[in-house]
Structure 1
Amino acid sequence: MSSAEAAVPQAQWWHSFYGGLQKMGRSLQLPVAVLPAAGILNRLGQPDVFGKDGLGWNNVAKVFAAAGGALLDSSLGLPMLFCIGVAIGMAKKADGSTALAAVVGFLVYYNVLRAFPEACKAPTVLVGNQCIDYASLKAAAATYQNPGVLGGILIGLMSAWLWVRFHRTKLVDWLGFFNGRRLVPMITALVGMLFACLSVWVWPPIGDGMTSFGQWLSDLGSWGSGIFGVANRALLLVGMHQLLNTFLWFQFGEFTKADGSIVHGDIPRFLAGDPTAGQFTSGFFPIMMFALPAAALAIAHSAKPHRRKEIYGLMTSVALTSFVTGVTEPIEYSFAYVVPALFAVHAVLTGVSMAVTWALGVHAGFTFSAGLIDYVINWGLATKPWLIMPIGLCFAVVYYAMFRFIIIKFNLKTPGREDEDEVEDVTKA
């Protein structure tokens, strides 16, 4: 076999693998899209809104807090959301039976994990699902091996594969009732049970390793925030930034709430009132609300005169989207693949924003993205949120100046500067 022939299967393997990772990244967007609802409900249930320090509607606050907490629960709610989202996103031609199979598999997996509580620390002893200290007459909930969101993602992947593999399977006639889609949840339940047993055994070293990585980034302080910011934007190019986000945003770290429940992840901890949370979210606000809209303005100003009006309309739209909602892909993709050098500058500056914001003591978080909506809703939970505005304005000036200079100096083909033969005539069929 020639070297060229050998390279073909290798290239096909790589493209399939890369395409699968991109599909996985898109699948993770589905459960993430649910989080704004969870964040709003949770925020309304806080003491300073409907609670004792706000309107004084304590029972109403309890309802909203419980509703939002159900979705943000790092042991059950969040993992199940990611499980269902990944199962639907990764299965070809998925339908309701795909989600049902994922739920069945996850619930079996979750309850098997809870059948094996970890040993209690002395002087407490394990009784049922409680660690009891008979000397002080105090009790606390037992802890369990819990892969959290990662476990939900893996169950979702297995559910998607099992659904694709077996949803058209036909059994013998006397078992015909369980053909196809009815068979998949039964298989998924068995797989969920086996996976839970495996997790009880193998998760401790894996979980310790991932926690050590997150702790290493966290211990670096502003440098750790900066490294995360650069990596987050770099992975956006291939649609895999959510794979990096998932652990740090939804699983790393823990915070004990006033009611004794424990939440994990930078975002849930922030929403639960952890004053140390926000290391991996705060620095996105200056970029998404100020810097990228300024970059969009620089691109519009750099367009050729006869196309400037057209590009102004386009860039104003995407800039407002970024500022209000924190959805930045329309701006970033307008130059990322056309002018990779600009995106490299953007990735580095995002890291700088993450580092500067955290170094100045800004602790801010979001449920969906770092736009105006999350900024306003979560103002009362944040530390020094007002600093985001001057920091953001400084980055806006830097972004505008650097983008405008680089585009003009190197004659980069950003939107509105393409050669005339490259501009599509949309009036032609």
Structure 2
Amino acid sequence: MKEKLIKLMNKFSRSMTGIVMFLAIMGTVIALATIMKLEFMPEPIVAFGGLISSMMDAMLNNLSLIFCVGLTTTMAKNKKVDAALVATISYLMFLAVNNAWLTSQGMLAEPGEMGLFGTGQAIVLGFQVSDMGVFLGMILGCITAFVFNKFANVEFSDMFKIYGGSRLAFAVMIPVVLVLGVGVTYIWPTVNDGIAATTEFMKDAGPGGVFAYAFGNRFLIPTGLHHMLWMPFCFTGFGGVTEIAGNVYSGAANIFYAEMANPGAITAIHESVRFATFGFAKAFGVLGAFLAFIKTAKPERRKQVISMLLPSVFVAMVAGITEPFDFMFLFASPLLWLVHGLLTGLFEMLLWLLGSRTYMIYGLLDMVICNLPLPIELTKIHIFFIVGIIAVIVWFFVFQFMIKKMDLKTPGRELVLATGANEGQIGNSDWDADIQVFVQAVGGVDNIESIENCFTRLRIDVKDVSKVDEKIIEQTQAKGSVVKGNNVQIIIGMKVQEVCEAFKASVNWEE
């Protein structure tokens, strides 16, 4: 039961990851559009920036629908186009039945001075419904995917053929949505109270809450479960709820994007930003660790260490993808990884205490672009960089001390330069041979249940985990591997999408 639950959580987080990558682009475009609308810009540029802002606002204000369709599509095993259609229809049906029930029972809230904010209801695509925020998209997306996978491949005889397959899945969703749409009118207010209580608890925990959140977010990376921590706080009511320029936003990232698009409507950065600074360690912590690895490497191998680590350090600092770098030392010393997490918690707590309100969940590029439209007196970005420089120094000396004192076999101090990467293969861009090794490592084609990828990992569900041979993965360019239940995770790096598609092609995989 435990393994099955972990598997479901991993599947959910993988599906969410793909959607969040689109939101990163949205945030960058909102920032650029806001800059285009500054007073000193020529009028045509301002007008064009307004058009772009309107486009992005449509996405930001309808994240629930995007999550519903995105989750259903990514979690559907096949017929993904049909799955997207069923998800869209189900979402619209939910809005209609929820509004109809609230209306018939006299439960519609009356707008106040701030509209429906604080009433537990909201206007979504023209319907006044129970305010579930993006939770509606997440819950309905998961339910639709489950139903679709269960019924979309059931076929009937010729006379009733039209009612089989994807149409059957749609038919099953009708009563499901009916029950859900009515049920949440009674259940969701209690759930909302629980979410509000959790938010208040984290707020009351103050600096300690920031430390715990930041530490967990970093320390859980090897398990892949860190997504289950930061995503709710960044994109749902767990991170906070506020009203900006007449619209209600929930989640640290969503709130910041709205503030960025409406800088004239705010006088301070919302406190939820404390859940959206975990990119700090991706830049400054990684740089300090990198310098420590160079310093402690054997003199004759320092150039090799630099050439091996520099690409992953660059990706971590600029784009915020740290896993290729993390797995260079995680297995060499779990204790060093623990300290890495503790330092992350300590410095993010320090940022909060010193008044920094700078947004950064990815890398430096995204951070600079997203914070640029907002006044420095609000973001306190100078504090962020000052603390960042101090962090590089602290990480460097702490890592250097531990490596030397405990004789840790970090890059440049062991027989093989890095876990899962042979010296002769550094820089080799041909993955064809490695893919054949991966197939062998997971027990062959017949042992594969599903093939997916996240930011940096190739994720393969297998039927019999006893047939998995992690050792031979070390012969490839992969940075390492992790086995959780029946899920084999092979750490690839930024080329994971390319490798995943090539892997599917090599085994003739059809979804």
Give TM-score, length-normalised by structure 1: 0.83
Q: Which amino acid aligns with 1:49?
A: M
Match of 2:401 in 1: 405
For each residue in 1:331-380, what CA deviation from the matched residue of structure 2 results, as whole angstroms up to 9, or x when unmatched? 223222332111111111111122111111111224x6142333233223
Match of 1:36 in 2: 24
| Structure 1 position 414, deviation (Å) | 2.3
Contact 2:253–2:273 under 8 Å retained in 1: no
SS of the residue 1:237 aligns to: helix
Match of 2:257 in 1: 271
Q: Which amino acid aligns with 1:409?
A: K
Match of 1:205 in 2: 190
Q: Which amino acid aligns with 1:33?
A: M
Structure 1 pair 352/183, CA: closer, same or farther in 2 (3 Å)? same
Contact 1:289–1:322 under 8 Å retained in 2: yes
CA distance in 1, matches of 2:110, 2:40: 33
Match 2:347 to one of 329, 350, 353: 353
Match 2:93 to one of 100, 108, 112: 108
Structure 1 pair 318/209, CA: closer, same or farther in 2 (3 Å)? same
Q: Kindly indicate whether residue 261 of structure 2 is the aligned counterpart of residue 261 of structure 1.
A: no
Q: How does 1:332-343 map to 2 (within 5 A)?
A: 332-343=326-337
Match of 1:170 in 2: 155
| Structure 1 position 189, deviation (Å) | 4.0
Match of 1:371 in 2: 364
Contact 2:31–2:372 under 8 Å retained in 1: no
Structure 1 pair 140/21, CA: closer, same or farther in 2 (3 Å)? closer
Contact 1:283–1:355 under 8 Å retained in 2: no
Q: Which amino acid aligns with 2:165?
A: G
Contact 2:203–2:209 under 8 Å retained in 1: yes
CA distance in 2, matches of 1:61, 1:52: 12
| Structure 1 position 326, deviation (Å) | 1.5
Q: Which amino acid aligns with 1:390?
A: I
Q: How does 1:9-158 map to 2 (within 5 A)?
A: 13-46=1-34, 49-52=36-39, 54-56=41-43, 57-73=45-61, 77-93=62-78, 95-115=80-100, 131=111, 140-141=115-116, 143=122, 144-158=129-143
SS of the residue 1:41 aligns to: helix
Q: Which amino acid aligns with 1:266?
A: A
Q: Point out the more displaced range, 269-278 or 202-211.
A: 269-278
Structure 1 pair 424/43, CA: closer, same or farther in 2 (3 Å)? closer
Q: Point out the more displaced range, 322-331 or 84-93.
A: 84-93
Contact 1:37–1:68 under 8 Å retained in 2: no
Structure 1 pair 418/83, CA: closer, same or farther in 2 (3 Å)? farther
Match of 1:383 in 2: 379
For each residue in 1:115-153, what CA deviation from the matched residue of structure 2 results, as whole angstroms up to 9, or x when unmatched? 4569xxxxxx99x88637xxxxx7835644222222322
Structure 1 pair 425/284, CA: closer, same or farther in 2 (3 Å)? closer
Contact 2:153–2:165 under 8 Å retained in 1: yes
Q: Point out the more displaced range, 54-63 or 240-249.
A: 54-63
SS of the residue 2:87 aligns to: helix
Q: Kindly indicate whether residue 224 of structure 2 is the aligned counterpart of residue 224 of structure 1.
A: no
For each residue in 1:96-130, what CA deviation from the matched residue of structure 2 results, as whole angstroms up to 9, or x when unmatched? 22222222222322343344569xxxxxx99x886
C-alpha RMSD over aligned residues:
3.0
Give TM-score, length-normalised by structure 2: 0.71
Match 2:307 to one of 313, 321, 325: 313
| Structure 1 position 33, deviation (Å) | 0.4
CA distance in 2, matches of 1:257, 1:86: 27
| Structure 1 position 229, deviation (Å) | 0.6
Match of 1:327 in 2: 321
For each residue in 1:390-412, what CA deviation from the matched residue of structure 2 results, as whole angstroms up to 9, or x when unmatched? 11011111111111221222122
Structure 1 pair 395/100, CA: closer, same or farther in 2 (3 Å)? same
CA distance in 1, matches of 2:26, 2:40: 21
Structure 1 pair 152/235, CA: closer, same or farther in 2 (3 Å)? farther
Contact 1:289–1:371 under 8 Å retained in 2: yes
Match of 1:135 in 2: none
| Structure 1 position 231, deviation (Å) | 1.8
Q: Point out the more displaced range, 351-360 or 294-303.
A: 294-303
CA distance in 1, matches of 2:54, 2:383: 31
SS of the residue 1:131 aligns to: coil
Which 5+ residue runs of structure 1 have no aligned equivalent?
1-12, 119-124, 133-137
Q: Which amino acid aligns with 2:314?
A: L
Q: Point out the more displaced range, 228-237 or 344-353.
A: 228-237
CA distance in 1, matches of 2:174, 2:304: 55
For each residue in 1:226-257, what CA deviation from the matched residue of structure 2 results, as whole angstroms up to 9, or x when unmatched? 22111212332211222222322122322222
Query: Percent identity at matched positions?
Result: 25
Which 5+ residue runs of structure 2 have no aligned equivalent?
123-128, 260-265, 426-474, 477-511
Structure 1 pair 67/237, CA: closer, same or farther in 2 (3 Å)? same
Match 2:218 to one of 233, 253, 275: 233
Match of 1:122 in 2: none
CA distance in 1, matches of 2:402, 2:173: 54
CA distance in 1, matches of 2:10, 2:145: 16
